């Protein structure tokens, strides 16, 4: 694999590209319907879903994309890795997308801080992220460029650079002028990152502004390792009668009414007050969960639940991810 790594990778990505072209036509109608549904329930496209609004769309596409499993027997590899008892390494290549006209590169300190934050969060999963290299990438796209038209440029201009079984972390700038004043309404439409949930592509995109945020990079890596939003579907009941079949499919993340309810949270208590589900039971979402959309609590650091950790621990051995796992001395 190593000797023809680049060639294989280009082939795989091109294969994906051509498959995507085919699916593009056949899925465009459903994509539009899904997007309209999502957008109708959001305050704005980016505010609600800059990181994630299209995960359903991306997942639908990526479920049809190619297979990149480099081990003939996944079970043997899993057994070998588990028997080692070692902390497992996942390599990451950082791509800093830099404008030639107004070059601003991300400092090494900020990148290191991001890795420190992510590694602390993923220690319970038993994996550690290792930066293989950091590249400046001058084919310049902003976050908004990549997100436009259902992430078309992300699919057609970015993933061709992706690596096999290594996370490609793309750090991007924002456009200027994301805030608006419209009569008495004013606000800002700013996404923070995106990737697909448990998808095939190796890429994660994060806005440079947010790489040192205590939540955002860990949140996006959570999607990469198959975690959904705690509010997914907005239809989980507080009494847990439907918690394993809908929502984020994890029962120890309490029902979460979603991103529109931040005003109902006391961020010192880290509690929501006065929001009820259809049975009249008060929502008590985990405000400090990495996979929610709430702001940071003053007294409680962000955390994953054991159910989320278990879901990721299982997914790292899935055919989509097992190739990423290495022992320290494996390159």
Number of residues that bind Zn ion (CB under 5 A): 2
Q: Residue 52 interacts with Zn ion (CB under 5 A)?
A: yes
9 or 55: whose CB is closer to Zn ion? Answer: 55
Nearest approach, Cβ of residue 114 and Zn ion (Å): 17
Q: Residue 259 interacts with Zn ion (CB under 5 A)?
A: no
**Residue 248 in tokens:** 């984020």
The DSSP element (H or E) to which 147 belongs, if any, is helix 143-153
**Residue 312 in tokens:** 């990721």
111 or 206: whose CB is closer to Zn ion? Answer: 206
Of residues 115, 126, 88, the one with CA closest to residue 313? 126
Nearest approach, Cβ of residue 6 and Zn ion (Å): 31
Contact string (CB under 5 A) for Zn ion, positions 81-120, x = contact? ----------------------------------------
74 or 303: whose CB is closer to Zn ion? Answer: 303
**Residue 111 in tokens:** 């990148």
Chain centroid to Cα 141, Å, comes to 19
Nearest approach, Cβ of residue 227 and Zn ion (Å): 9
Determine the interface stretch with Zn ion among 26-34, 47-55, 176-184, 233-241 (rule: CB under 5 A): 47-55
Among 38, 51, 118, 208, binds Zn ion (CB under 5 A): 51
Q: Which letter, b or e, does each residue of 152-186 get, where b requires 16 or more Cβ atoms within 10 Å of its Cβ?
A: eebbeebbebbbbbbbbbbbbbbeeeeeeeeeeee
Q: Residue 62 interacts with Zn ion (CB under 5 A)?
A: no
51 or 168: whose CB is closer to Zn ion? Answer: 51
Nearest approach, Cβ of residue 323 and Zn ion (Å): 24
For residues 255 and 253, what is the distance between their CA atoms, to the nearest angstrom? 7
Nearest approach, Cβ of residue 152 and Zn ion (Å): 20
Determine the interface stretch with Zn ion among 51-59, 127-135, 143-151, 270-278 (rule: CB under 5 A): 51-59
Could you tell me the end-to-end alpha-carbon distance of the chain, in angstroms, rounded to an integer?
12
DSSP state of 96: E
For residues 106 and 135, what is the distance between their CA atoms, to the nearest angstrom? 11
Determine the interface stretch with Zn ion among 19-27, 50-58, 103-111, 259-267 (rule: CB under 5 A): 50-58
The DSSP element (H or E) to which 30 belongs, if any, is helix 5-40
213 or 325: whose CB is closer to Zn ion? Answer: 213
Contact string (CB under 5 A) for Zn ion, positions 7-46, x = contact? ----------------------------------------
Owner of token pair 């991103």 = 259
Of residues 131, 301, 127, the one with CA closest to residue 222? 127
CA R_g for the chain: 20
71 or 261: whose CB is closer to Zn ion? Answer: 261
For residues 310 and 194, what is the distance between their CA atoms, to the nearest angstrom? 22
Residues 193-232, interacting with Zn ion (CB under 5 A): none
Q: Which residues form the interface with Zn ion (CB under 5 A)?
A: 51-52
């Amino acid at each position: 694999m190593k000797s023809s790594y680049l060639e294989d990778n280009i082939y795989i990505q091109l294969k994906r590209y051509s498959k995507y072209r085919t699916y593009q036509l056949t899925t465009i109608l459903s994509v539009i319907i899904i997007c309209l549904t999502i957008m109708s329930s959001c305050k704005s496209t980016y505010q609600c879903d800059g990181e994630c609004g299209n995960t359903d769309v991306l997942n639908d596409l990526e479920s049809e994309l190619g297979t990149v499993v480099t081990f003939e027997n996944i079970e043997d590899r899993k057994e070998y890795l588990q028997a080692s008892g070692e902390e497992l390494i996942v390599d990451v290549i950082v791509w800093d997308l830099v404008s030639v006209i107004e070059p601003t590169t991300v400092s090494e300190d900020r990148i290191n801080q991001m890795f420190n934050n992510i590694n602390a969060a993923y220690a319970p999963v038993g994996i550690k992220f290792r930066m293989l290299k950091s590249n400046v990438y001058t084919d310049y796209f902003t976050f908004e460029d990549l997100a436009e038209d259902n992430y078309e440029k992300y699919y057609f201009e970015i993933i061709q650079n992706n690596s096999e079984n290594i996370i490609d972390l793309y750090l991007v700038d924002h456009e200027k002028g994301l805030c608006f004043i419209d009569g008495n309404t004013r606000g800002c439409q700013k996404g923070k990152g995106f990737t697909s949930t448990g998808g095939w592509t190796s890429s994660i995109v994060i806005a440079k502004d947010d790489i040192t945020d205590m939540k955002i990079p860990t949140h996006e890596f959570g999607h990469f390792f198959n975690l959904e939003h705690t509010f997914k579907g907005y239809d989980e009941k507080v009494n847990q009668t439907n918690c394993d079949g809908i929502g984020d499919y994890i029962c120890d993340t309490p029902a979460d009414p979603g991103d529109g309810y931040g005003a109902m949270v006391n961020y010192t208590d880290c509690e929501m007050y006065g929001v009820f589900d259809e049975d009249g039971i008060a929502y008590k979402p985990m405000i400090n969960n990495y996979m929610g959309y709430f702001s940071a609590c003053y007294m409680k650091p962000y955390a994953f639940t054991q159910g989320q950790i278990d879901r990721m621990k299982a997914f790292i051995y899935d055919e989509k991810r097992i190739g990423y796992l290495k022992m320290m001395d494996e390159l």
